[in-house]
Amino acid sequence: MNAEAGALGVLDLQGGVQEHLDHLQRIGVPARTVKRAAELDGLAGLIIPGGESTCLSRLLRIFELDQAIRRAVDGGLKLWGTCAGAILLAAENRGEAPALGLIDIAISRNAFGSQLDSFNRQVRVPMVAEEPIPVTFIRAPKIVRAGAGVRVLLELDDYIAAAEDDRILVTVFHPELTPSLAFHRYFARKCGVRSDGTEAASRDPGWTPQSWMRFSHHA
Note if 23 is an active site residue: no
The b-or-e profile of 123-137 (16+ CB within 10 A means b, else e) is: bebeebbeeebbbbb
Q: How many CB atoms lie within 10 A of CB 200?
A: 9
Q: Are 168 and 178 in contact (CB under 8 A)?
A: no
Q: Where are the beta strands (DSSP E) in 140-188?
A: 142-146, 151-156, 159-164, 168-171
Please tell me which residue in 20, 23, 174, 184 is annotated as part of the active site: 174
Please tell me which residue in 83, 164, 184, 191 is annotated as part of the active site: 83
Note if 217 is an active site residue: no
Phi, psi of 38 (to 5 degrees): -65, -25
CA 122, chain centre distance (Å): 18
Note if 191 is an active site residue: no
User: What residues act catalytically?
Assistant: 83, 174, 176
